[in-house]
């Protein structure tokens, strides 16, 4: 059974995307720092007949991200799709941003994504196939002064996808991002629409891969 690893699983885009892949027969692994919340999400999916398990991860710690990927590969086999969905959603301007949280916010939003890509790429490249999906944001295109670190982080996500796309394509790995140009709330139709974009990116045939889709709620 194909394996889908969600890092930064939440009740909105994370849950909807995981469920979209579960409907295609994927074994899901949901992960986040707060395993209690994720366990509740997993229970929703299990009740629908999907195969799901939960693992803890501190996305701000690159070693923890690498250990998560290694553990999933050891226990379940190859990771076919990795979805990085974590972000520090802090609302703060430059003046309001606490100095001690700036680097931590960026470690969550972009540092963890970089660590996940580095951890999952070798095995995917060895097999010659795999998909790395990154949840982007419209602040990458139009930064907002009241969401400063989120803007910088989402710009980093977009740059990471752009920087890896051609190199990874040559190794059989499809790197793709959905840039969400607006806020979407859990339970809204928008999360399902974003999830469908992620599925369609993954399902693109080799030779027709695209890097980015933009979704405006």
The pTM of the full predicted model, rounded to 2 decimals, is 0.97
The arrangement of secondary structure in 3-215, i.e. its CATH architecture, is 3-Layer(aba) Sandwich (3.40)
pLDDT, one tens digit per residue, over 103-160 is 999 999 999 999 999 999 999 999 999 999 999 999 999 999 999 999 999 999 999 9
Q: Regarding beta strands 3-7 and 81-84, do their DSSP bridges make them parallel or antiparallel, or are they unpaired? A: parallel
- Alpha-carbon distances, residue 167 vs 27, 80, 107 (angstroms): 28, 18, 23
Per-domain residue ranges of the chain = 3-215
Whether the Cβ atoms of residue 136 and residue 179 lie closer than 8 Å to each other: yes
């Amino acid at each position: 059974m194909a394996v889908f690893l969600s890092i930064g699983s939440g009740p909105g885009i994370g849950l909807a995307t995981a469920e979209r892949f579960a409907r295609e027969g994927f074994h899901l692994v949901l992960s986040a720092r707060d395993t209690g919340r994720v366990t509740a999400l997993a229970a929703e999916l299990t009740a629908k007949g999907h195969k799901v398990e939960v693992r803890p991860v501190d996305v701000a710690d690159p070693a923890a991200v690498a250990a998560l990927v290694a553990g999933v590969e050891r226990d379940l086999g190859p990771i076919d799709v990795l979805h990085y969905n974590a972000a520090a959603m802090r609302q703060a301007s430059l003046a309001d941003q606490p100095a001690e949280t700036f680097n931590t916010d960026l470690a969550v939003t972009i540092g963890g994504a970089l660590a996940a890509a580095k951890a999952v790429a070798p095995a995917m490249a060895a097999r010659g196939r795999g998909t790395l999906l990154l949840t982007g944001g419209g602040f990458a295109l139009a930064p907002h002064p009241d969401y400063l670190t989120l803007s910088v982080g989402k710009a980093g996500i977009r740059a990471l996808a752009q920087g890896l796309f051609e190199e990874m394509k040559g190794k059989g790995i499809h790197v793709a991002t959905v840039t969400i140009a607006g806020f979407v709330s859990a339970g809204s139709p928008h999360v399902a629409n974003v999830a469908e974009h992620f599925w369609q990116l993954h399902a693109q045939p080799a030779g027709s891969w695209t890097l980015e889709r933009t979704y405006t709620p």
